[in-house]
């Protein structure tokens, strides 16, 4: 009797449902983790798009937007209707395309640097080289220009004094104000500043390659060059291709910091890229409405290039990047 009662009580105890845990459901938890970043993206990337409304007005600083005349698409039409304005935009686009094309052509340099760096056997020397080549990325372009000014100053610049002492020059030469080879000079400074930083992604990709492939290649008698060409290079090509497609999508977004600090009246015709042109027109020329219209066209072209790069990725790799 007591045994039957105990068994019944045991079944009743087992049949009791487990208490529900209070908290955020699992399906909402990841969204809440990402919510602060989504808010930041909305504040700093989408809210400023309200400023596009300035392209529809003949805005003048010091007046309320509502007090300035509404002109509709006048500033967009002026880009193509005014021959002088069209010539200016074409000149700026030429500089932008040239700088971006040089950037894409030199995108193989971080790849080669990462491969060569991974072949260094001395870990201390390897870390030293990696640190020294990565540090310039954290130097602002203002300090980079200060370094360039100390090196290429006409009166006391290191390069001018060295060339004069060697008899290669009779007097100081103003390299920074020289308009010849402006594109080449800019890409060289950008390469020096971003080489080590750009190689980090490829170094990470190299470390992810299966070490057994190198061991098998050594057994088959492959040397270090053969290992690099047949194992390392194919192993990092997917990473390189994704970054290349993103560079194509970002083709006309050169930024302006580098060109802003290096620009002067002599080299302005070849150094003024689209972002710098928008800044010079809006902030220095106080033509905010026209600068906004040019910036809007730049954004539309960038979106088109992004979809083109995404379609190219689907065609070549079989998968999209967005």
Question: For the domain that residue 221 is a member of, what is the CATH number?
Answer: 1.10.3720.10
Classify residue 290: in a domain, yes or no.
yes
CB within 8 A of 109, min separation 6: which ones? 191, 195, 198
Domain count, the chain: 1
- With tokens 């906004």, the residue in question is 292
pLDDT at 38: 93
Sign of the C-alpha dihedral, residues 12, 15, 16, 18?
positive
pLDDT at 16: 54
pLDDT at 81: 86
Classify residue 188: in a domain, yes or no.
yes
Classify residue 49: in a domain, yes or no.
no
The pLDDT tens digits along the chain (322 residues) read 445 545 545 545 455 555 555 666 777 888 888 899 999 999 998 998 898 999 999 998 888 888 899 998 899 888 888 888 889 989 999 999 999 999 999 999 999 999 999 888 888 999 999 999 999 999 999 999 999 999 988 888 888 888 888 888 888 888 888 888 899 999 999 999 999 999 999 999 998 888 888 888 888 888 888 888 888 988 898 888 888 888 887 888 888 899 999 999 899 899 999 999 999 998 888 888 999 998 888 888 888 888 888 888 788 777 776 6
Residue 71 burial class via C-beta count within 10 angstroms: exposed 0-12, middle 13-18, buried 19 and up = middle
pLDDT at 19: 53
Instruction: Say if CB 294 and CB 313 are below 8 A apart.
Output: no
Instruction: Give the domain range for residue 255.
Output: 82-317
């Amino acid at each position: 009797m007591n045994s039957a009662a105990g068994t019944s009580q045991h079944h009743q105890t087992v049949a009791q449902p487990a208490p529900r845990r209070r908290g955020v459901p699992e399906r909402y938890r990841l969204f809440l983790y990402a919510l602060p970043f989504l808010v930041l993206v909305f504040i700093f990337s989408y809210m400023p798009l309200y400023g596009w409304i300035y392209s529809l007005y003949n805005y003048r600083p010091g007046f309320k937007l509502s007090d300035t005349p509404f002109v509709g698409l006048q500033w967009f039409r002026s880009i193509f209707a005014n021959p002088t304005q069209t010539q200016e935009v074409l000149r700026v686009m030429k500089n932008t395309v040239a700088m971006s094309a040089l950037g894409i052509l030199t995108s193989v340099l971080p790849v080669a640097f990462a491969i060569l760096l991974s072949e260094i056997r001395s870990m201390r020397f390897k870390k030293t080289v990696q640190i020294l080549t990565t540090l310039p990325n954290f130097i602002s372009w203002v300090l980079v220009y200060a370094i360039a000014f100390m090196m290429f100053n006409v009166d006391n610049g290191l390069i001018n004094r060295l060339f004069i002492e060697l008899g290669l020059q009779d007097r100081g030469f103003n390299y920074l104000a020289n308009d010849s080879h402006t594109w080449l000079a800019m890409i060289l400074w950008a390469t020096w500043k971003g080489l080590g930083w750009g190689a980090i992604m490829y170094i990470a990709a190299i470390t992810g390659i299966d070490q057994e492939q190198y061991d098998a290649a050594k057994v088959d008698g492959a040397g270090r060059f053969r290992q690099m060409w047949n194992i390392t290079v194919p192993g990092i090509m997917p990473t390189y291709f994704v970054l290349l497609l993103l560079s194509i999508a970002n083709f006309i977004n050169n930024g302006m910091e580098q060109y802003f600090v290096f620009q002067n009246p002599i080299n302005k015709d070849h150094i003024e890229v689209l972002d710098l042109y928008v800044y010079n027109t809006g902030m220095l020329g106080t033509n905010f409405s026209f600068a906004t219209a040019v910036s809007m066209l730049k954004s539309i072209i960038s979106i088109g290039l992004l979809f083109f790069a995404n379609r190219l990725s689907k065609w070549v790799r079989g998968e999209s990047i967005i």
